[in-house]
Structure 1
Amino acid sequence: MASSPSGGITANRAELIAIADSVAKEKLIDKAIVIEAMEDAIQRAAKNRYGSENDIRAKLDPNTGDLRLWRVVEVVEVVDDYFKQVDLKGAQKLQKDAQVGDFIVDPLPPIEFGRIQAQASKQIIFQKVRDAERERQYEEFKDRQGEIIIGVAKRVEFGHIVVDLGRAEGVIRRDQQIPRELVRVGDRVRSLIKEVRRENRGPQIMLSRAHPDFMKKLFAQEVPEIYDGIIEIKAAARDPGSRAKIGVISHDSGIDPVGACVGMKGSRVQAVVQEMQGEKIDIIPWSPDTATFVVNALQPANVARVVIDEEEDRIEVVVPDDQLSLAIGRRGQNVRLASQLTGKAIDILTETDSSEKRQQEFVQNSETFQNELDVDETLAQLLVAEGFSALEEVAYVELDELASIEGFDEDLAQELQSRAAEALERRETAQREERRALGVEDALAELPYLTEAMLVTLGKAGIKTLDDLADLATDELIAKKRQEPRRRADADKPAPQREGDKGGVLGSYGLSEEQGNEIIMAARAHWFADEEDTGASPAQEDAHAESGQ
């Protein structure tokens, strides 16, 4: 592979440069990377020849193919390591002005490559080139996430489709394919670049035909107004291969966003439908008003009334009795897509169910006021009819507001507020007794935001000490339960809960994340106080205790 420094370029030298050029062009990588790989291979072969203890360097001229081989040695007064050191006398034979402490070059003669050395060198070069090619692929695709790309189906492995993208391969996993779509080897496949990951075996380019963004990008290709930013797709939801919904808005009052997306005689939307294997698409006007958008999202069903629960982040939709099945959709598809589109949990009730529910709540609240405030049925029902639903509302509302109810006066209002405060005190006393009976420490009652009712709930969950509470993460304490939309007429029953959606212990009390963090940190305060007293962290103390020292 090498020749003497004198003389012209030999066939070997020319061959090295030709190989470097060819590999660089074929793999689309920098020629300097191939040259560096060759130098590394030659350097390792030289170490096998002259001894691995030597600090051997190789340099291949990328233009002429000339190869220089040398070892680096240190000039010392007394030699301890003959592989890496040389005395001053020997050094000055190599370099006249050498001084103690210098590092000088000791030229080495070219080496002849045997079969084993040639094979090892080839493996080193191939590995370097593969690494460079993988890095090039990653750099090429890492910033293309969210783009649509066309490739050719190369093979199918365990249901996953491997797609040839030209300079790389991508994978459409089974769960990212359109159900019942048949893709054969050699078929052209259009897909979304969902994710690009750097891994040891090379960049993993994950593709998708089932993601909502795939549908968005298809519309951007078919609708010039979307590409130009005049129309914006604000939300999208899909049941791949079956049905989809998109919410669109126009930034130009003269352009109808729904009509622009549908196109002349449905030409634009049909192009997208065909690419998505016949998936039906509902194009819906987006609205910043949540209630209006929910009504639009539930099309084609008619909606009678929308009630938004901000605290629970749920929406109750009331529909005429004959519209229930249409609003829910086959297997709950319509309400499920509407829920994904709006980002809200949606409960569907018929007008009959809604009326029964309101009547039930009216009776329950009236009975509560009768029992807790010691008033007659008429007065209790009058409070409920005026919008009061809890003792706290009666106790803490402005006195003038309560006194302004028809038939009330200031004396009656004061009396009702006094009775409501007493009822709340009785309730808190009963909860405090229950909490103590459960064994919940009084120290927890001193933490911010925690009421006696919350402490009872904690006690029933086995959280009875500061350490028990301090061990929780914020989500474990306050996360709300996520529920599927209630889709049947019996909406007063608990909604089905998905696996893993248990929520936090106090998830039903409406605590914010900031409040949850504050509670947890207050519960952990004694840890830091102990650390200051002992000079050790809680983790160190635990380790000390486990070691038995």
Structure 2
Amino acid sequence: MDTIVSLKQAIEQIVKEKGIDRQVVIEAMEQAVLSAANKKYRNTRNLEAHYNNDTGEVELFEYVVVVEEVQDSYTEISLDEAREMDPECEVGDELGEKIDSGDFGRIAAQTAKQVIIQKVREAERETVFNEYKDRQWEIVTGQVRRFERGDLLIDLGRAEAILSGKEQMPREVYRPGDRIRAIITDIAMTTKGPQIILSRTHPQMLAKLFEAEVPEIGEGLVEIVNVVRDPGSRAKIAVASHDRDIDPVGACVGMRGSRVQNVVSELRGEKIDIIPWSADIARFVCNALSPAQVVKVFMDEEQRTLEVIVPDDQLSLAIGKRGQNVSLAARLTGCRIDIKGEGKVEEGDLEEFASFDGTHVEEEPEEMAVDEETDQQQPEPEIAA
């Protein structure tokens, strides 16, 4: 009895502290006792289990139907026998008798413990899911817990998140216990609990880092229009200002480059080109090709295709190593960009015409192998419709 009383007290305490529905625990205990009893009696009897709040135990009852002639001794009882129990009973009545629950009380105690643990776990999972479900695209900091087939399991404190291999930065190496920052890209509830997906390669990771570093972005004075990345290598971010007195590029760069340098450090040296956005597509493309200079632009507005003419000595710079610069520019602007050198235009030789539509180039032409990144001022390009 002491065990049962202590069990009752424990249930009441858990219900109060964890906020679990008391009836859920009681019903689970009743079902456990009933299942164990039916198994013992091989489902030959009509049994019911009920929790007695006064005694703190699950009581087991056997029910039989009053009949004139007994055909099933497990579920039926004769009228004469029934009237020994209840003188007023009639044929067709159902009589219930409490039977010795024996070891079933211990089963109830074990079940209560299991139910409590399960419900606490479910409540904690629900709490974690509710805490993170509205935090998509938020940067979080966690600790590397372990590796699973190339994926990192990150401890966020109250929750565990997954940073898959494809969402990790190239050449980054982590060990259990290392601190790591990543952006939440998805939160879903699964049978195993909330699943939080992280990324360090998503463009929004870069955008959120700038948002944290640049107060003007948080205040709405500077807007990040678009971001494209080759994670771990190079990125371009287009920014616009909603205040004439604020230079969006300068705001993102910061005093002596302090703001952009903090972002670069977090991304392990990833080069970042900050591009002023323009509603003029041709001008925007010229900005996006920075640091290369542009001489002239031929534009097909309907097809969103631009032919960009650059000085011959700027051709490899405009295209970039393995076509990276023009590829990022095309993805940033949403345009197809065709580039050729000034000398080739004069000669009318289109064999050296370089065409890019935002996809990577597998092989790098020898004459384009040098990536000369400079901070030269671009002259105003000539734009032709």
Aligned with residue 10 of structure 2, among 10, 15, 24: 15
Q: Is 2:183 aligned against 1:192? A: yes
Q: Which residue of 2 aligns with 1:532?
A: none
Using a 3 Å threshold, how does the CA distance of structure 1 residues 254 and 107 change in structure 2: closer, same or farther? farther
More strand by share: 2
Which of the residues 280, 285, 294 maps onto 2:276?
285
1:46 pairs with 24, 29, 34, which one? 34
- Contact 2:228–2:235 (CA<8 Å) still a contact in 1? yes
How many Å separate the matches in 1 of 2:96 and 2:348? 93
Map of 1:509 onto structure 2: none
Of the three residues 325, 339, 363, the one matched with 1:334 is 325
Aligned position for 2:359: 484
- Which position in structure 1 is the counterpart of 2:244? 253
Q: After TM superposition, list the pairs within 5 Å mapping 1:30-41 onto structure 2.
A: 30-32=19-21, 36-37=24-25, 39-41=27-29
8 Å contact kept, 1:349–1:488: no
Aligned-pair Cα RMSD in Å: 4.3
Shift of 1:116: 6.6
Residue identity over aligned pairs, in percent, reads 46
Q: Work out whether residues 331 and 358 of structure 2, in 8 Å CA contact, stay in contact via their aligned partners in 1.
A: no
Deviations 1:5-45 (A, max 9, x none): xxxx93332233345556x3xxxxx3327x62454144222
Asked if structure 2 preserves the Cα contact closer than 8 Å seen for 1:308 and 1:316, the reply is yes
Q: 1:76 to 1:346 in 2, by over 3 A?
A: farther
CA distance in 2, matches of 1:256, 1:195: 34
**Once structures 1 and 2 are overlaid, which stretch shifts more, 310-319 or 262-271?**
310-319
* Matched letter for residue 5 of structure 2: T
Structure 1 residues 105, 219: closer, same or farther in 2, change over 3 A? farther
Tell me the CA shift for residue 86 of structure 1: 11
Give 1:203 deviation, angstroms: 2.2
The alignment partner of 2:269 has SS state of coil
Matches within 5 A, 1:273-312: 273-312=264-303
Shift of 1:46: 3.0
Kindly state the Cα deviation for residue 149 of structure 1 after the two structures are TM-superposed.
1.0
The structure 1 residue matched to 2:224, chosen from 226, 233, 236, is 233
Question: SS state of the match for residue 236, structure 1?
Answer: strand
Residue 158 of structure 2 aligns to a residue whose secondary structure is coil
Q: Structure 1 counterpart of 2:298, which letter? A: V
Cα distance, 1:335 vs structure 2: 1.1
Match of 1:138 in 2: 129
**Does residue 318 of structure 2 align to residue 317 of structure 1?**
no
* Closer, same or farther: CA 143–489 of 1 in aligned 2, 3 Å: closer
How far the C-alpha of 1:60 sits from its partner, in A, is 8.0
Q: Give the gaps of 5 or more residues in structure 2.
A: 352-356, 366-385
Alpha-carbon distance in structure 1 between the residues aligned to 2:210 and 2:95: 67
User: How many residues are aligned here?
Assistant: 351
Match of 1:216 among 203, 207, 210: 207
Q: Is the 8 A contact 2:151 2:164 kept in 1?
A: yes
Distance between the aligned counterparts of 2:61 and 2:172, measured in 1? 63
Partners of 2:244 and 2:76 in 1: CA distance: 82
For 1:155, the equivalent position in structure 2 comes to 146
Deviations 1:301-321, CA, capped at 9 Å, x for gaps: 011223333454433322121
| 1:152–1:485 CA distance, 2 compared to 1 (3 A) | closer
Q: Distance in 2 between matches of 1:245 and 1:483?
A: 13
Q: Any conservation in 2 of the 1:152–1:165 contact (CA below 8 Å)?
A: yes
**Which amino acid is the alignment partner of residue 262 of structure 2?**
A
1:70 is displaced (CA, Å) by 7.0
Letter aligned with residue 271 of structure 1: N
TM-score, reference length from structure 2: 0.74
Distance 1:289 1:72 in 2: 85
Contact kept? 2:34, 2:47, Cα under 8 Å: no
Per-residue CA distance 1:305-343 (angstroms, 9 max, x = gap)? 233334544333221211111111112111121122112
- Shift in CA distance, 31/487, structure 1 to aligned 2, threshold 3 Å: closer
TM-score of the superposition, structure 1-length normalised? 0.54
8 A Cα contact 1:45 1:121, kept in partner: no
CA distance in 2, matches of 1:352, 1:85: 106
Identify the residue that residue 255 of structure 2 maps to in structure 1. Answer: 264
**Higher relative CO (CA 8 A, sep ≥ 6), structure 1 or 2?**
2
For 1:49-68, what aligned pairs fall within 5 Å after superposition? 49=37, 56=48, 58=50, 66=56
